[in-house]
Amino acid sequence: MRFIGIIGLSILSSVVYGIIHDLITAHVCVEYFTIGHPPLWNLHTPTELAFGWGIVATWWVGLILGVPLAVVSRVGTWPKRSARSLIKPILILLAVCGVCAFMAGLAGHYFASHKMVWLVEPLASRVPLERHVAFLTDLWSHLASYASGFVGGVVLSVVVLIGRYRAARQKTA
């Protein structure tokens, strides 16, 4: 059951982050969700799209990161980590992801505004020209969230494993 708690915490954390992230980005560029993604359950408003895509696009990230985190937290004879003990590290990871997404969004906006990056077909024709910069802002922000989430999830798993190893050594010393 302890494994399920860690995996559940990871999925819940990812979904909450995804909804918050999408609430922001859907209001920056709704076309990112309506044109850049397949239709989802007849959702149309930025808020509806944020909740729908916030769940659909992130629950699996939480699962993929939660399973190894549960394994490195619980398997073996070293002192175990509980889901509760992982809340703060996960919140820190999500804050780092948010900062990375914000910075990447700013970079995407800058580069798109200065015509250093641009949309390619078929999106270039489908997204109204005056929305290209906002679309690219969202795209860069989302890519940064996924990248920093995956890298951060691996780092968090390694940090937990090292922490358990050190705790075990201190117990035997």
Report the pLDDT averaged over residues 75-94: 96
Indicate the number of domains in the chain.
Answer: 1
Q: What global pTM score does this model have?
A: 0.92
- Count how many Cα atoms sit within 13 Å of the Cα of residue 24 in the half-sphere of its side chain: 15
Per the CB < 8 A criterion, the answer to whether 153 and 65 are in contact is yes
pLDDT of res. 125: 94
Q: Using one digit for the tens of pLDDT, what is the confidence trace for 125-165?
A: 999 999 999 999 999 999 999 999 999 999 999 999 999 99
Q: Which domain holds residue 11?
A: 2-172
Q: Residue 1: is its pLDDT beyond 80?
A: no
What are the angstrom distances between the C-alpha of 44 and each of 34, 47, 48, 70, 166? Answer: 8, 8, 6, 37, 51
Per the CB < 8 A criterion, the answer to whether 89 and 160 are in contact is yes
pLDDT of res. 134: 97
**Which residues, in sequence order, are CB contacts of 120 under 8 Å at separation 6+?**
none
pLDDT of res. 116: 96
Q: Using one digit for the tens of pLDDT, what is the confidence trace for 22-75?
A: 999 999 999 999 998 888 888 789 999 999 999 999 999 999 999 999 999 999
Q: Residue 173: is its pLDDT beyond 80?
A: no
- What Rg value do the Cα atoms of the chain yield, rounded? 19
